[in-house]
A = this chain, B = another copy of it.
Amino acid sequence: VTDRFELDAVAVAAATELQGRLTKPPGALGQLEAISIQLAGIARLCPPPVPTQVAIAVFAGDHGVVASGVTPWPSEVTGQMVMNFANGGAAINVIARSCGATITVVDVGVATPLDPGLNIVHRNVRRGTADLSVGPAMTTDEAAAAMAVGRSVASELVASGAQLLVTGEMGIGNTTPSAVLIGALCNADAMAVTGRGTGIDDAHLARKQAIVAAALTRTHQLAPIELLAEVGGLEIAALVGLITAGVERRVPVILDGVIALAAACVAEAMQPGVMLGCIAGHRSTEPAATIALAHLGLSPLIDLGLRLGEGSGAALAVPLVQAAARLIGEMATFDSAGVTDKS
């Protein structure tokens, strides 16, 4: 455990004061002003740097609980989508091109063996979790190993110049472990945290709710790493590592939807304060996402009814974060522009 993460108070005060002198009515840029102040506090610099080098990390893992009928999509789709990512055809690839971000795809727990020649990062810890409805999803050692993968990916991306990290994931079935993690860490019940994920029907939803409810009964008194092992996922654990390592390096992390928010709840439980370095990219339609956002005190930038994952909602928010940084850094002040402030 490292020191608690804090925003730099001097930079926060300077950014707050600067926002009041820019040529606009006070507060007129709404949440973008808060983001600019947060970015200054993370970077320890006012105005903060404009994060032009953006890195999306997409962690892929499979889930044993798919065998219990929580989704109509077969687990094979996880590996197929990894190949789609590698070929540039998935939504996250298109959004990355649209905002000029790089994508790093990481196999941290895909069940299907992937061609070692596939142009992704091969760091498979185990070929998918066990069925969390039957027993522990993985061991704490495996959860720690998956977290370490996320930490090392974050370190490498930051070392390569990334100024902004975006959380992405792929894993058929992964809204189920996310619902359990959020239920456990936000003290919410199975009915409240369980959603339709990719758009499942009533029969799948009923099974999913029952599985989440049963799993929640096993989560009391567990330390965060034990909880992650008991009901989590390998890509979720990797995201916990990415988030904590990115924020430690004072690089802001944009969180995607419910899977990333489950990882964020674990990260905040492990290292209180880490959320000060995170930005909520969007509000997913999954009900657990809204519960986690409230628990973490985050206000999402985008709310467009998205429920795709992959990092799509977070990547769509990248231009807003960049604009927030540019606005505080590039706008004229009343003095410099010769504009009369209100009487």
Contacts and interface: CB of A to CB of B under 8 A. Distances in A.
Interface string A25-64: 1111111100000000000000000000000000000000
Contacts of A340: 73-74, 76-77, 80
Interface stretch (A9-17, A116-124, A232-240, A312-320): A312-320
B331 A198 contact: no
Contact of A23 (B29, B81, B302): B81
A28 B198 contact: yes
Interface in A303-333: 303-308, 312, 316, 319-320, 322-323, 326-327, 330-332
A2 interface: no
Contacts of A152: none
A307 B23 contact: no
Contact of A199 (B23, B26, B312): B26
A220 interface: no
A161 interface: no
Contact of A306 (B29, B81, B302, B322): B29
A94 interface: yes
Given A91-B327, A199-B28, A326-B97, A343 B72 contact: yes
B30 A332 contact: no
Contacts of A302: 302, 320
Contact of A330 (B97, B316, B319): B97
Contacts of A99: 319, 323
A187 interface: no
Contacts of A87: 332, 337
A83 interface: yes
Given A94-B331, A330-B97, A331-B91, A339 B31 contact: no
Nearest to A337: B84
A-B pairs with lowest CB-CB distance, top 3: A89-B332, A30-B305, A25-B198
